[in-house]
């Protein structure tokens, strides 16, 4: 019996291609939105890391504000805790870095990582060729050994089997390849070269710590043991001297933190709302079709068709539509996943290598569940209506109007729900748009045209440039060559780009200031040369900028932002004051304030707004340097000449990450841009679906009331009376939908408030615009039905009365 019912249902849908294709398209958009956003949930939240017993891997470091993640610790601090926690089976450290590799194909820059010898066993990874690092490789002064990724092995070394032992140059040092790692391994994010981490006593550097819980140990037990160890070490840990808290978290939360996960879930929730809107629209369409088939269903019931059979056929129709919509939805999901990968890759913000946004078993299973759920949501009301056929009433002349009235009431209720959901989604979109606008309007302090400033990066390795003096010679020499170019107005070399790239965050204090109860102040610190302020157009409000008086072996100097000066020396002249850098360290460094800049944002706009300070390249060594060139003509056209000038100074130092300052600032905001675009897209889709639902409901209502309008016109009612009649029906739905939607949006907007994204709850302007948009769209949706109502001919309408 089921194959026959299936054929009948298929034929019925084929006879009405407009209805069928419209239903599939509407439901496909709703399913596509929720599948695309579930793909993000699946890839970023649900999918485990690709390591054995990944749920037992933890990260150890200092707690970040608002429980976002874990900050790294110094190598000395790691040495103090290593091996002293019985709740941990194995620990390892890593430090993500860039690697300059010189081979037969020339010098190229690759993403890389320094790792300890325990990291590969900790992650359960075996080399394809060769061996892991040994204890000898970790020793300071040992010959440099490197591990390379399979992709680099194939691209650079032609997959040669004798690559192990091959002599190359890495970061200015002679090195040898000791192993090749599998192609599906690029820890921590997209590394292709791995170097040994060499712990050097008295020369602390930052490291990220990973550990595996001991058999039988839980995360809470390990945290308790870490707390006890931290308490016993006390001020032996520099971080704790600064008032910071040592903590432990699952490793997965380091790569996709709680804030990111919460926004992924919020986007998925928005997708579910869009699916509900789509289902309600298709349900309304099916109810209309059921009403048109009312006499057919009554006849079939009179001839012996059971209620179960009628119910089954209606649900089969919903299932076929849902399956067709699922095909459309999977295509939309693939397009969305490709779009988001391309956007993040183009902006240097690609997720970790193990995050997959494509199709997998979870996504297929969810697609199946979503299709079945959509079938139920779309089909239950029409199926219930179709199965409740009253033969006498439905065959009686005029019964359609009475049955249509019940349908009209249900359709009106559905439209109210659609308006509510639309208001909620539009409020979310508006909140993110306002936040992004604030972010775009953020003043980074630079007064120069950011589109005419070309920025690029080079790496300065200790083997080539062991101290600040040797680095400064490179900086001065390269800078002079750049400024001598006819197309160059100004040039600077440092480690920061205002509004896009920060040198570092550092603890600071005024000389003689005791540690505040809530810890030392944190400042954004950039290391720059003498031409930084003039290149970027950063005016000083007091004092001077760096110049030739600031020598390598002279007194350390600093230029501070006015906000930092007011924080450390309120009510006093900051010039001549002394700032303590790293007050928590055993040997803090004291700097003399020589200048004050009014406003300066070194970090990206999505980062916490902290006061800024600048130090000189002659006094603080760089590991990587950022070149900035302000050009008279096109900045991007200067890239080949920049590469040539750098090669003329050091042929083994490749140039990478070449962008204009404007582009670099855009890249720093890409997460906020994508979030805003996703919410705006679902908000507009919701508005379109609600408008379609409102139009369909009013069209059906006008068709049902044709005779009523004919009688009204026959007894003298004018166009104004008919318009008022239709408007009243529309108005109460819009008012009820807006009232409920605004009420639910108040707490919703509070959930979306985030200082990092510069979003705020209860944005009055956003609420006003959303109300206006919904009202305008609602009345535009009513124009065609109203036109039809006004065109009713009383003679035609009353012909069968």
310 conformational bin, left if phi > 0, alpha if psi -120 to 50, beta if neither: alpha
Taking each helix axis as running N to C, give the angle between helix 719-752 and helix 670-704, from 0 to 180 degrees, rounded to the nearest 10.
150
What is the distance between the alpha carbons of residues 216 and 209, in angstroms, rounded to a whole number?
Answer: 21
**What's the number of CA atoms in the CB half-sphere (13 Å) around residue 470?**
9
C-alpha–C-alpha distance, residues 401 and 708, integer Å: 11
pLDDT of residue 375: 74
Q: Which pLDDT does position 395 carry in this prediction?
A: 47
How many Å separate Cα 789 from the centre of its chain? 48
At 725 the pLDDT is 78
CA gap 560, 181 in Å, rounded: 46
**Interaxial angle between packed helices 294-302 and 399-440, expressed in degrees from 0 to 180 and rounded to the nearest 10:** 130
What CA–CA distance (Å, rounded) separates 343 from 334? 14
Task: Please tell me the predicted confidence (pLDDT) of residue 260.
Answer: 86
- The torsion defined by the Cα of 516, 501, 620 and 469, in degrees rounded to 10, comes to 180
Rounded to whole angstroms, how far apart are CA atoms 166 and 144? 12
Containing H/E element for 286? helix 258-292
CB neighbours of residue 619 within 10 Å: 22
Question: Which tens digit of pLDDT belongs to each residue from 79-109?
Answer: 888 889 999 999 999 999 889 998 877 789 9
Cα–Cα distance, 54 to 75 (Å, whole number): 24
| Structure confidence at residue 4 (pLDDT) | 60
This prediction's pTM: 0.83
Q: What is the pLDDT of residue 401?
A: 47
CA-nearest of 250, 244, 249, 132 to 182 is 132
CA atoms of 480 and 751, how far apart (whole Å): 52
* pLDDT value at residue 400: 47
Tokens of 334: 């693939």
| Residues in the chain, pLDDT under 50 | 201, 386-387, 391-392, 395, 397-402, 800
What is the spatial distance between Cα 196 and Cα 216, in angstroms, rounded to a whole number? 31
For residue 669, the model assigns a pLDDT of 85
Give the distance, in angstroms, between the CA of residue 423 and the centroid of all CA atoms in the same chain: 24
* R_g of the chain, CA atoms, integer Å: 33
pLDDT of residue 768: 94
pLDDT, residue 393, reads: 53
**pLDDT the model gives residue 215:** 94
Beta-sheet pairing, 612-616 with 521-528:
parallel
CA separation, residue 798 to residues 183, 704, 712, 718, 724 (Å): 77, 13, 11, 17, 22
Q: Which is nearest to 632 in space by CA: 442, 490, 526? A: 490
Instruction: Confirm if 362 and 43 have CB atoms less than 8 A apart.
Output: no
DSSP string, 181-246: E-TT--TTTT-SEEEE----TT---EEEEEEEEPTT--HHHHHHHHHHHHHHHGGGSHHHHTT--E
pLDDT at 666: 87
Residue pair 778/689 in contact (Cβ under 8 Å)? The answer is no
Residue-wise burial string across 217-236, b where 16 or more C-beta atoms lie within 10 A, e elsewhere: beeeebbebbeeebeeeeee
| Contacts (Cβ under 8 Å, ≥6 apart) of 617 | 468, 471, 472, 475, 493, 494, 527, 528, 529
> Cα-flanking dihedrals φ and ψ of residue 472, to 5°?
-65, -35
């Amino acid at each position: 019996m089921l194959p026959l019912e299936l054929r009948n249902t298929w034929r019925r849908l084929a006879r009405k291609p407009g209805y069928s294709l419209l239903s599939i398209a509407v439901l496909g958009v709703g399913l596509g939105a929720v599948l695309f956003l579930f793909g993000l949930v699946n890839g970023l939240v649900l999918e485990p890391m690709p390591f054995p017993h990944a749920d037992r891997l933890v990260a150890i470091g200092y707690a970040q504000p608002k429980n976002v993640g874990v900050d790294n610790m110094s190598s000395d601090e790691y040495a103090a805790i290593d091996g002293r926690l019985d709740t941990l089976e194995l620990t390892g450290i890593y430090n993500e870095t860039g690697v300059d590799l010189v081979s037969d194909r020339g010098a190229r820059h690759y993403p890389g990582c320094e790792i300890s010898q325990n990291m590969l066993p900790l992650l359960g990874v075996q080399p394809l060729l060769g061996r892991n690092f040994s204890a000898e490789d970790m020793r300071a002064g040992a010959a440099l050994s490197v591990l390379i990724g399979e992709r680099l092995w194939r691209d650079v070394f032609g997959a040669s089997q004798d690559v192990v032992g091959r002599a190359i140059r890495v970061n200015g040092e002679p090195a040898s390849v000791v192993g090749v790692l599998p192609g599906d391994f690029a820890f921590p994010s997209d590394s292709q070269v791995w170097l040994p981490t060499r712990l050097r006593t008295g020369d602390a550097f930052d490291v990220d710590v990973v550990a595996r819980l001991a058999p039988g140990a839980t995360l809470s037990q390990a945290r308790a043991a870490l707390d006890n160890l931290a308490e016993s070490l006390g001020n032996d840990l520099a971080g704790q001297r600064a008032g910071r808290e040592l903590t432990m978290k699952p490793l997965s939360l380091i790569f996709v933190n709680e804030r990111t996960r919460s926004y992924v879930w919020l986007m998925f929730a928005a997708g579910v709302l869009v699916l509900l809107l789509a289902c309600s629209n298709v349900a309304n369409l099916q109810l209309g079709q059921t009403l048109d088939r009312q006499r057919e269903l009554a006849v079939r019931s009179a001839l012996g068709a059971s209620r179960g059979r009628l119910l089954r056929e209606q649900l089969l129709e919903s299932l076929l539509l849902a399956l067709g919509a699922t095909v459309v939805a999977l295509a939309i999901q693939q397009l969305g996943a490709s779009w988001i990968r391309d956007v993040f890759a183009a902006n240097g913000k690609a997720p970790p290598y193990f995050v997959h946004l494509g199709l997998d078993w979870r996504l297929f299973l969810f697609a199946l569940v979503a299709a079945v759920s959509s079938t139920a949501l779309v089909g239950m009301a029409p199926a219930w209506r179709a199965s409740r056929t009253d033969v006498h009433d439905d065959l009686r002349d005029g019964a359609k109007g009475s049955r249509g009235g019940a349908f009209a009431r249900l359709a009106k209720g559905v439209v109210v729900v659609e308006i509510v959901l639309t208001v909620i989604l539009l409020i979310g979109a508006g909140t993110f748009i306002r936040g992004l606008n604030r972010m775009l309007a953020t003043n980074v302090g630079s007064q120069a045209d950011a589109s005419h400033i070309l920025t690029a990066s080079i790496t300065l390795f200790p083997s080539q440039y062991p101290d600040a003096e040797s680095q400064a010679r490179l900086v001065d020499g390269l800078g002079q060559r750049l400024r001598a170019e006819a197309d160059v107005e100004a040039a600077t070399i440092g480690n920061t780009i205002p509004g896009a790239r920060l040198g570092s965050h550092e603890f600071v204090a005024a000389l003689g200031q005791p540690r505040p109860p809530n810890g030392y102040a944190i400042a954004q610190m950039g290391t720059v040369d003498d031409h930084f302020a003039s290149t970027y157009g950063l005016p000083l409000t007091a004092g001077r900028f760096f110049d030739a008086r600031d020598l390598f072996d002279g007194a350390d100097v600093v230029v501070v932002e006015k906000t930092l000066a007011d924080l450390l020396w309120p009510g006093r002249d900051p010039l001549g004051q002394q700032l303590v850098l790293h007050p928590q360290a055993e040997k803090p460094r004291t700097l003399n304030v020589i200048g004050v800049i009014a406003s300066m944002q070194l970090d990206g706009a999505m980062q916490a707004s902290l006061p800024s300070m600048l130090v000189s390249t002659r006094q603080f060594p760089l590991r990587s340097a950022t070149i900035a060139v302000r050009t008279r003509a096109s900045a991007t056209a200067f890239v080949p000449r920049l590469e040539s000038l750098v090669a003329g100074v050091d042929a083994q130092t490749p140039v990478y990450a070449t962008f204009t300052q404007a582009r670099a600032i855009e890249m720093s905001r890409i997460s906020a841009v994508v979030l805003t675009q996703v919410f705006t897209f679902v908000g507009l889709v919701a508005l379109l679906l609600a408008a379609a639902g409102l139009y369909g409901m009013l069209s059906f209502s006008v068709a049902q009331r044709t005779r009523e309008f004919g009688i009204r016109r026959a007894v003298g009612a004018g166009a104004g009376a008919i318009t008022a009649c239709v408007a009243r029906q529309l108005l109460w739905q819009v008012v009820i939908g807006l009232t409920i939607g605004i009420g639910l949006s108040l707490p919703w907007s509070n959930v979306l408030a985030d200082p990092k994204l510069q979003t705020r709850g209860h944005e009055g302007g956003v609420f006003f615009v959303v109300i206006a948009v919904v009202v305008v769209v609602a009345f535009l949706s009513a124009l065609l039905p109203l036109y039809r109502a006004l065109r009713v001919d009383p003679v035609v309408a009353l012909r069968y009365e």
